[in-house]
């Protein structure tokens, strides 16, 4: 009986050896790839956290530089955070801060460059929308109305559509294109919640152009009411 069990065990052992000789190398490589990928993922996560932490330090420096109105330091910090941590969210936020500080000091070209960097490099649609609105505002200040409309012509996230329409309305109004301005203000008015204070500003703009805001928000029922079938 014992001899029979020994023979079975030996046969199973031989089968296992044969299996390992045939597939062992492939299994080893699969395991190496799996565990290597896991280690690489952990390493990447650690690297991202480290990058974000260091970028946060530079972002704090940017805030202090902006508050102190130190434009030279603003430029240095912006260059550092772009060069070292350009893929982090802090880099885009720092550029928005820098653009505001530069614009406030009359350096519109540098402010536009900072905003264009955000548009080119940021992966956050919300941040890019803010940059686009601010860039359009600078273009309007420079009376570059066609450029502003081009900047505003790109699709915006839903939460920014009303602001973009309002800004377009402003551009058309400055160009003397009242009909186009009214159309954009209507879009903005309809997209804003009734409880939003900003909606009152749109009302004022529509009133100034001789338009009833309520009619803008709710087109006359007679235009859409179905007619009764004649018998």
Q: Which of 95, 121, 144 is the last residue of a domain?
A: 144
How many angstroms separate the Cα of 47 from the Cα of each of 38, 52, 84, 228? 14, 9, 13, 69
| pTM score | 0.71
63 in any annotated domain:
yes
| H-helix segments, 68-160 | 71-85, 89-104, 108-121, 125-141, 145-152
36 in any annotated domain:
no
Q: Which of 144, 168, 194 is the last residue of a domain?
A: 144
* Structure-token pair, residue 34: 């799996």
Q: Do 161 and 140 share a structural domain?
A: no
Q: Do 214 and 176 share a structural domain?
A: yes
Q: Are residues 102 and 74 in contact, defined by beta-carbon separation less than 8 angstroms? A: yes
* CA distance linking residue 138 with residue 107, whole number of Å: 10
pLDDT string in tens for the chain (231-residue length): 445 546 666 666 666 666 666 666 666 666 555 555 545 444 545 545 666 788 888 889 889 998 988 999 999 999 999 988 888 888 999 999 999 999 999 999 999 999 999 999 998 999 999 999 999 999 999 999 999 999 999 999 999 999 999 999 999 999 999 999 999 999 999 998 888 888 989 999 999 998 887 764 454 444 444 544 444
Number of other residues whose CB lies within 10 A of the CB of residue 63: 14
28 in any annotated domain:
no
Neighbouring residues of 59: CB distance < 8 A, sequence distance ≥ 6 = 81, 90, 93, 94
* CA distance linking residue 163 with residue 192, whole number of Å: 9
Q: Which of 109, 144, 179 is the last residue of a domain?
A: 144
29 in any annotated domain:
no
* Structure-token pair, residue 109: 């070209």
Q: Do 64 and 109 share a structural domain?
A: yes
Q: Do 163 and 139 share a structural domain?
A: no
Per the structure, the complete domain to which residue 201 belongs is given by 155-219
* CA distance linking residue 158 with residue 145, whole number of Å: 24
224 in any annotated domain:
no
Minimal CA–CA distance to 162: which of 136, 133, 139? 133
Minimal CA–CA distance to 68: which of 106, 95, 104? 104
CA dihedral 215, 216, 217, 221 (to 10 degrees): 50
* Number of domains the chain contains: 2
149 in any annotated domain:
no
């Amino acid at each position: 009986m014992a001899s029979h069990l020994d023979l079975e065990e030996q046969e199973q052992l031989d089968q296992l050896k044969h299996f390992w000789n045939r597939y062992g190398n492939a299994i080893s490589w699969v395991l190496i790839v799996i565990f290597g990928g896991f280690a690489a993922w952990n390493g990447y996560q650690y690297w991202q956290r480290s990058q974000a932490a260091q970028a946060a330090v530079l972002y704090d420096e940017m805030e202090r530089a902006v508050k102190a109105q130190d434009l030279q330091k603003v430029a240095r910090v912006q260059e550092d955070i772009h060069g070292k941590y350009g893929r982090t969210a802090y880099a885009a936020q720092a550029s928005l801060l820098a653009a505001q500080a530069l614009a406030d000091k009359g350096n519109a070209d540098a402010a536009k460059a900072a905003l264009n960097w955000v548009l080119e490099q940021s992966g956050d649609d919300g941040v890019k929308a803010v940059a686009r609105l601010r860039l359009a505002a600078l273009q309007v200040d420079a009376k570059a109305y066609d450029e502003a409309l081009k900047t505003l012509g790109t699709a915006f996230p839903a939460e920014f559509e009303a602001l973009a329409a309002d800004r377009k309305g402003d551009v058309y109004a400055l160009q003397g294109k009242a009909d186009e301005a009214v159309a954009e203000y209507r879009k903005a008015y309809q997209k804003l919640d009734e409880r939003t204070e900003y909606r009152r500003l749109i009302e004022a703009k529509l009133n100034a152009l001789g338009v009833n805001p309520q009619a803008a928000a709710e087109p006359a029922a007679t235009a859409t009411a179905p007619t009764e079938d004649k018998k």
